[in-house]
Amino acid sequence: MKTYLDCYPCLLRQALSAARRAGASSEQQRGIVLETMGQLKRMPEAATPPEIADGIHRLVRARTKNPDPYRQAKKDATHQALGLLPRLRELVRASADPRETAVRIAIAGNIIDYGASEGYELEATLERVLAQPLALDGLARLRAGLAEADAVLYLGDNAGETVFDRVLIENLSQSVTYVAKAGPIINDATREDALAAGLNEVAEIIDNGADAPGTLLARCFEAFRDRFSRATLIIAKGQANYESLSSAKAPICFLLQAKCPVIADDLGLEQGAVVAKASSALSRARDAQ
Amino acid sequence: MKTYLDCYPCLLRQALSAARRAGASSEQQRGIVLETMGQLKRMPEAATPPEIADGIHRLVRARTKNPDPYRQAKKDATHQALGLLPRLRELVRASADPRETAVRIAIAGNIIDYGASEGYELEATLERVLAQPLALDGLARLRAGLAEADAVLYLGDNAGETVFDRVLIENLSQSVTYVAKAGPIINDATREDALAAGLNEVAEIIDNGADAPGTLLARCFEAFRDRFSRATLIIAKGQANYESLSSAKAPICFLLQAKCPVIADDLGLEQGAVVAKASSALSRARDAQ
């Protein structure tokens, strides 16, 4: 997805928020805001939001000498989500359609995102996402894809959301590879965060070689790009994975909440929509049968 | 009030919004966003938000060659507010405390502000502002000031809000001078907008000589600065007047809604607070009695 002009103010807000979270002094905060505007001005028009965000958070980490400003927020989110795990499993167990409930739970967890906003209401979001109609028809295509695939490549998103992903993965019979980030970026899950959520009990955990938001293939290491290109079914969580992979020719089911108005517009949906969207490659594969 | 770092993303959003309202092409919008970031970088740290906003809207008007991007929005707001006028007057007439109700109505009208946000719910805001506790104790000081003053200098804010101001002015026995802007800036009321609201029936209308948001005294003409310095009671409407006059040594009662989190923080209040705040000079004048 391209970067819309509306993303610029939001990215500037994100820079300030990250600077504060990293413990920057007022003077440092001001310097970071001014430098971020310079960076935004220099960015090529074709850069995606995750590419720009990557540069901004790199700047914040460098200027504040804090390698992981969201470290405590990630731990807290994982802790909070683990407290919900028994209830999430019970929701799936008691559901008339456990697969759909598990997918919805994974989407509900996507609210845990310090890029899109400054906070969230986890339990209220869970209730809402369980009840709200799915905005796109990706669920049927995901079901069809799962009926054939032996393995799923699962592109994770945020720490804490990992626990909600675990509930979906427990519902899958396929062998699952869970992809974490190679280093801290916003509150995205690294291998350490994935382990803290117990994902190792239900999936192989790998990292993509990059410490950028979403999946910037050019920045990932080759071993990951190989797995990505050979995958027969990919589940990609969250806005940044959609922003970075919406044009990729791969069989992807995007699971996310359209938390910002720009993504909602790009998808032709209302803000807050609960989205399961099949990529064209996944749709074609299913339609061809 | 100083410009907080949080104002920068908001001012950038405002530039984009104004550009679109002015009918800018995508290319022009992009140019304006990039130029605005340059302008924000160059601004002295001590500049107030209205000073910065002034520069941004000047840039938008110049680049789009549209001298009044908010012209239609101002007409629509005045038309909508005039439709409410009989009901607003009836609220004052039926009130156990007509003065307080008239003040609250004037504050309710302050929601009509295209600087602070992209839209508003006029009638819902009216209900809320009539019911919500006043956040600061300016009302008692305003009452005391009115008990003595023969004349009130009334610094207006937005078109449409003018009609709500008219209801308060109808409730005052003093001679009132209503101050409009000398030229279009955001949706602030010019003399033309004040006339469209019928303010000439209840007040003398003057302009301050400036086409900047709020009241930037250095930009106003001298005749206005004289009246300002001689005034024994000033009512100043809206955020921008607070932002530009919060340090002025003048007997001012600020009436506004704290629509943005930055102003709310600066005042030590919650966002959405309904504010009647006496300046130190107005407080001292009353306390001395």
Per-residue pLDDT reduced to its tens digit, A205-260: 999 999 999 999 999 999 999 999 999 999 999 999 999 999 999 999 999 999 99
Band (A59; pLDDT cuts 50, 70, 90): very high
| pLDDT for residue A199 | 98
| pLDDT for residue B288 | 59
| pLDDT for residue B287 | 65
Q: Which residues pair with B176 in a beta bridge?
A: B152
Mean of pLDDT over chain B: 95
**Mean pLDDT, to the nearest integer, of B69-89?**
97
Element (H, E) at B201: none
Q: Which residues pair with A158 in a beta bridge?
A: A188
Per-residue pLDDT reduced to its tens digit, B138-163: 999 999 999 999 999 999 999 999 99
**Mean pLDDT, to the nearest integer, of B66-71?**
96
Q: C-alpha B199: how far from its chain's center?
A: 16
Give, in words, the CATH class of A71-287. alpha beta
Residues of B in contact with A10 (CB under 8 A): 9
Mean of pLDDT over chain A: 95
Residues 208 through 237 of chain B touching chain A, CB cutoff 8 Å: none
CB proximity A82 to B under 8 Å? no
Contacts of A69 (CB under 8 A, 6+ apart): A18, A21, A22, A23, A60, A61, A184
CB proximity B45 to A under 8 Å? yes
Query: CB pairs below 8 Å between A and B: how many?
Result: 43
| pLDDT for residue A64 | 97
| pLDDT for residue B113 | 87
* Interface contact flag, A9 B16, Cβ < 8 Å: yes
Facing residue for A16 by CB, picked from B6, B29, B30 = B6
| pLDDT for residue A288 | 60
Band (B119; pLDDT cuts 50, 70, 90): confident
**Mean pLDDT, to the nearest integer, of A62-70?**
97
Closest CA in chain B for residue A15: B9
CB proximity A18 to B under 8 Å? no
* Interface contact flag, A37 B8, Cβ < 8 Å: yes
| pLDDT for residue A286 | 60
Band (B289; pLDDT cuts 50, 70, 90): low
* pTM assigned to the model: 0.90
Residues of A in contact with B18 (CB under 8 A): none
| pLDDT for residue A146 | 96
| pLDDT for residue A289 | 55
Q: What is the complex's ipTM, to 2 decimals? A: 0.87
With contact defined as beta carbons under 8 Å apart, do B194 and B205 qualify?
A: yes
| pLDDT for residue A116 | 75
Per-residue pLDDT reduced to its tens digit, B221-231: 999 999 999 99
| pLDDT for residue A283 | 87
Residue B116 has pLDDT above 80, yes or no: no
| pLDDT for residue B286 | 60
User: Look-up: residue for tokens 């006029």?
Assistant: B122
Residues of B in contact with A37 (CB under 8 A): 8, 37-38, 40-41
Interstrand relation of A252-257 and A274-278 (parallel, antiparallel or unpaired): antiparallel
**Mean pLDDT, to the nearest integer, of B235-244?**
96
Nearest to B238 by CA among B260, B223, B221, B219: B260
In our burial notation (b when 16+ CB lie closer than 10 A, e otherwise), range A92-113 reads beebeeebbbbbbbbbbbbbbb
| pLDDT for residue A115 | 76
The domain limits of chain B are: 7-64, 71-287
